[in-house]
């Protein structure tokens, strides 16, 4: 992977996390710099969101099953991002709930 692709992947990953937790943008950037596992979760979230956005292109017989699978994955990854953010000292001190309203 070249630097341009890596930068693009990182941007997509950060954007996916910040869309869900905008109040923790700085914390997300710091975690991206410090934690490979957090980066991986955010990259997976960006990929899952992209796949979910393209589910209407799946054959009609598979569409709803794929939509449910991708949505479940997105929901799980959003929870993992939230848990990671919540476990930072800055987040705990802020007193802000990282969980997005449903």
pLDDT digits (tens, 9 = 90+) for 51-92: 999 999 999 999 999 999 999 999 999 999 999 998 886 555
Number of domains forming the structure of the chain: 1
CB 82 within 8 A of CB 16: no
Compute the Cα dihedral for 85, 88, 91, 92 and give only its sign: positive
Radius of gyration of the chain (CA): 15
With respect to residue 45, please indicate whether it lies within any of the assigned structural domains: yes
Alpha helices in 1-102 (DSSP H): 3-20, 25-34, 36-53, 60-86, 89-94
For residue 36, is pLDDT > 90?
yes
With respect to residue 99, please indicate whether it lies within any of the assigned structural domains: no
CB 58 within 8 A of CB 66: yes
With respect to residue 101, please indicate whether it lies within any of the assigned structural domains: no
Domain containing 10 equals 3-90
Entry pTM: 0.81
With respect to residue 44, please indicate whether it lies within any of the assigned structural domains: yes
């Amino acid at each position: 992977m070249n630097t341009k692709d890596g930068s693009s992947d990182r941007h997509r990953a950060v954007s996916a996390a910040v869309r869900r937790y905008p109040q923790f943008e700085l914390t997300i950037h710091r975690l991206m710099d410090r934690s490979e596992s957090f980066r991986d979760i955010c990259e997976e979230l960006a990929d899952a969101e992209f796949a979910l956005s393209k589910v209407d292109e799946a054959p009609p017989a598979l569409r709803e099953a794929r939509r449910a699978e991708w949505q479940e994955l997105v929901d799980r990854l959003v929870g993992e991002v939230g848990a990671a953010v919540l476990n930072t000292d800055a987040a705990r001190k802020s007193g802000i709930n990282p969980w997005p309203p449903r």
